């Protein structure tokens, strides 16, 4: 074993960490949309829209449904569920209480081994 990052899927995060893709996700939150519609509303050129959509689908954030000429993209629930449970695992941090205690213990250790 090699101490790899356990919890969260990195690719999900890096996919979302790009303004246009984040915009796409935000846009798709109230329903599936066509490439053209997406490009329109976000003022993107079609090729860039397609590229970003590809990244998002490749990472499982979106899924496509072909409908004749059009391709309809929509959000997939899984990544968000994953993200949700990952963040929840930080409740100790979010609620604070923990550092005062730990800090104190560490202080002690340091002082006595010097």
44, 74, 108, 112: which one contacts a second copy (CB under 8 A)? 74
- Among a second copy, DNA, none, the one that 99 touches (CB under a kind-dependent 5 to 8 A) is a second copy
Tell me how far CA of residue 99 lies from CA of 7, 67, 80, in angstroms.
22, 54, 29
The span from the CA of 40 to the CA of 22, in Å, is 16
- The yes or no reply on residue 6 touching a second copy (CB under 8 A) is yes
- The yes or no reply on residue 75 touching a second copy (CB under 8 A) is yes
DSSP string of 38-87, one letter each residue: HHHHHT--HHHHHHHHHHHHHTTSEEEEEETTEEEEEE-HHHHHHHHHHH
CB of 68 to DNA, least distance (A): 4
- The yes or no reply on residue 29 touching a second copy (CB under 8 A) is yes
Q: Which residues bind DNA (CB under 7 A)?
A: 14, 18-20, 34-36, 39, 45-55, 64, 66, 68-71, 114
CB of 69 to DNA, least distance (A): 4
């Amino acid at each position: 074993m090699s101490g790899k990052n356990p919890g969260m899927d990195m690719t999900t995060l890096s996919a979302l960490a790009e303004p246009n893709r984040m915009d796409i996700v935000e846009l798709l939150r109230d329903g599936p949309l066509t490439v053209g519609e997406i490009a329109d509303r976000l003022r993107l050129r079609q090729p860039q829209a397609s590229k970003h959509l590809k990244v998002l689908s490749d990472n499982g954030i979106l899924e496509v449904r072909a409908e004749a000429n059009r391709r309809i993209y929509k959000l997939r629930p899984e990544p968000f569920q994953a993200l949700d449970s990952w963040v929840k695992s930080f409740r100790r941090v979010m609620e604070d209480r923990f550092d005062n205690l730990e800090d104190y213990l560490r202080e002690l250790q340091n002082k006595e081994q010097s």
